[in-house]
Structure 1
Amino acid sequence: MTKPTFSALLWVILLVSCGQKSAVKPVTSLVLTPVQKMYAQGDTLNFSWKNPSAVAFDSVTFSLSGTSIAHTDDYLVLNASVLGEQSIEWVGYQQDKEVAQGALKVKILANKAPKLYTYEIIASYPHDMEAYTQGLEFSNGILYESTGLLGFSSLRKVDYKTGVVLKQHNLPEDVFGEGLTIYGDQLYQLTWQSGFGYIYDLEFNEIGRFAYGKSKEGWGLAHNEKQLFKSDGTDRIWILQPTDGSEIAQFSTVTHQGFFNRANELEYVDGKIYANVYQKESMMIIDANSGAIEGIVDFSGLKQKVTQHPALDVLNGVAYHPEHQSFFVTGKKWDRLFEVRIVPKS
């Protein structure tokens, strides 16, 4: 009997392999129309399926990062509660049985431009010209301030009316101080690139530290009644657990045109985060749930109202005074602290 040659065996293997591959069903994927790099909150988009011969669905459900979204047989609505990069998850059914599922990442922007605001000066107070201000916050009428720079970083209690420093705690010389916030009877202070933050009691006794997770650096810090908000120099605001400072969620700050990565010092008031714009004479008003930048406050001209000197630096530091219902702002190495009212820009 003639033995099969090696080349004949190879052809048999290839034919069997090709037959096996052809038996594999192609993967079904979701296709949105129009195809864009970014969409707006509330957009209605046509959808279809790539490789529709793989599976024919009787019904489909859609969700956006875990929340169900409205759709018809041909359209879905990007009714996102959180903006930025999200995931459209879908599940296909036949006779009420799940037969396929998948996800498509999308970038969702705000659906309208930010409103423009300016400021009115209510009062002006003395401020330490040597303070490289990184964070401000009021608690029981006392102004708390954190300062930066290696060898000069500190935590302070300040009489805002006189500028007198009532109490000061200096950080180690190799630590660059950043933003602060007070939650209950604990004060949290960030460091810039040391990878951790401090937790103190209100007399500045250190009672703990918390490590940064996926966030890159420490910039600004604020809080509401449930959680802390942290900026890190990217387009993200990180949500922290107050008990241990761990990162539990995050969202991006976006306008109707794109992502914005310059949120610095933070303050939280009535569902909004007020954020100094790094290296700019302006402040963002961010929806603390969606990440939409709803307003821009123009602080042009304020820097010219302080003593001009070689070390004078940018606007930074914002604190809300709940009894006055006004904001207090200053800058790095400014000798004045301004109480202001934010008003629409005409």
Structure 2
Amino acid sequence: MAHFPRAAALLFAVPLLVSCSTSSPQGVQHLTVQIEETLPFDATSFTQGLELGPDGTLYVGTGMEGSSRVYRTTLDGRELASQDLEPEFFGEGITLVRDALWQLTWQNNTAIKRNAETLEEISRTTFDGEGWGLCSRPDAGEVIFSDGTSELRRMDPDTLAERERFVVTLDGTPVDGLNELECVGDDIYANIFTTTDIVRIDAATGKVEAVIDASLVPNNATPDPNHVLNGIAHIDGNEFYITGKRWPDMYRVTFVPDLSRG
């Protein structure tokens, strides 16, 4: 999502929504992050979207008016393609759909469809409200879209036309601040804006199945309230890459039980 002033209230409200006892009546799991590897990352990237391509290259969508772009890079930082957005656009989430990549903008009501290899623009479409995160569910034939609220939208993967919306809940309470997304099978992983929490959501019901505490992951970005955890990309099995806005590092991690919660 965008910069900090837009959601100052969430900084205090959201952690209350995702902090519950280990004996949740719905059986919500409490996990933490185990770092398997630390990789270099572009510290100038105000990361809004992160995706791993089938060829092992990394796609990064960045924000801020005047400096938003999307680029494709090797894991060791060799840039393969890059496209800038118009100066008035604030880039947001990205996702791959076959040989194309969708990129959202924050408050410009515009989504851009790009060639997945060159990142050159193919077409544009519009949507209502704000754009935050995107992830693709190829087996379900849909793209999931977040707008910073507790709602997620099901979208057509080819046109990004909206099909329906559903509310994400934790023990019956709506979870606000759903931001960068990653779809893995029947699950949706979502960064919670301004926090170090990631939630795993049942894509069919919208219920949170797990809360992942990523607070132990080092944030080595320059001190700034904007430089929060944001970016999750599935690798394989239980392995993911995670990073943040203007973070100089990206981490290969697994999600494991949080033993500190008893």
The alignment's TM-score, normalised by the length of structure 2, stands at: 0.85
Deviation at 1:300, TM superposition (A): 0.7
Pair 1:234-2:155 in alignment: no
Pair 1:334-2:239 in alignment: no
Determine which of 113, 122, 142 is the counterpart of 1:207.
122
Deviation at 1:261, TM superposition (A): 1.3
Number of paired residues?
232
Provide the C-alpha distance between the structure 1 equivalents of 2:92 and 2:26, rounded to a whole number of angstroms.
Answer: 32
Determine which of 13, 26, 29 is the counterpart of 1:115.
29
Other-structure match for 1:274: 189
Deviation at 1:339, TM superposition (A): 0.3
Other-structure match for 2:108: 194
Answer whether contact 1:326 1:339 (CA < 8 A) is retained.
yes
Structure 1 gap ranges (5+)? 1-109
Deviation at 1:166, TM superposition (A): 2.2
Answer whether contact 2:51 2:94 (CA < 8 A) is retained.
yes
- Relative to 1, partners in 2 of residues 1:310 and 1:114: Cα closer, same or farther, differing over 3 Å? same
Determine which of 112, 120, 143 is the counterpart of 2:58.
143
Structure 2 gap ranges (5+)? 1-23
Provide the C-alpha distance between the structure 2 equivalents of 1:169 and 1:280, rounded to a whole number of angstroms.
Answer: 29
- Relative to 1, partners in 2 of residues 1:308 and 1:207: Cα closer, same or farther, differing over 3 Å? closer
Deviation at 1:165, TM superposition (A): 2.4
- Relative to 1, partners in 2 of residues 1:307 and 1:253: Cα closer, same or farther, differing over 3 Å? closer
Deviation at 1:164, TM superposition (A): 2.9
Equivalences for residues 240-279 of structure 1 within 5 A: 240-279=155-194
Other-structure match for 1:172: 86
Pair 1:319-2:227 in alignment: no
Answer whether contact 1:311 1:333 (CA < 8 A) is retained.
no
Provide the C-alpha distance between the structure 1 equivalents of 2:66 and 2:225, rounded to a whole number of angstroms.
Answer: 16
The secondary structure found in structure 2 opposite 1:303 is coil
Pair 1:132-2:43 in alignment: no
Answer whether contact 1:189 1:197 (CA < 8 A) is retained.
yes
Look up the equivalent residue of 2:203 and give its one-letter code.
A
Deviation at 1:274, TM superposition (A): 0.5
- Relative to 1, partners in 2 of residues 1:212 and 1:163: Cα closer, same or farther, differing over 3 Å? same
* Structure number with larger C-alpha Rg: 1
Look up the equivalent residue of 1:232 and give its one-letter code.
D
Deviation at 1:256, TM superposition (A): 1.1
Provide the C-alpha distance between the structure 1 equivalents of 2:226 and 2:143, rounded to a whole number of angstroms.
Answer: 30
Encode CA deviations 1:108-133: one digit per residue, 9 max, x unaligned. Answer: xx961521000111101111111000
Pair 1:302-2:210 in alignment: no
Provide the C-alpha distance between the structure 2 equivalents of 1:207 and 1:341, rounded to a whole number of angstroms.
Answer: 35
Pair 1:159-2:74 in alignment: yes
- Identical residues among aligned pairs (%): 32
Q: CA RMSD in A?
A: 1.6
Answer whether contact 2:221 2:246 (CA < 8 A) is retained.
no
Determine which of 183, 194, 203 is the counterpart of 1:288.
203
Higher relative contact order (CA 8 A, sep 6+): 2
The secondary structure found in structure 2 opposite 1:150 is coil
Encode CA deviations 1:52-100: one digit per residue, 9 max, x unaligned. Answer: xxxxxxxxxxxxxxxxxxxxxxxxxxxxxxxxxxxxxxxxxxxxxxxxx
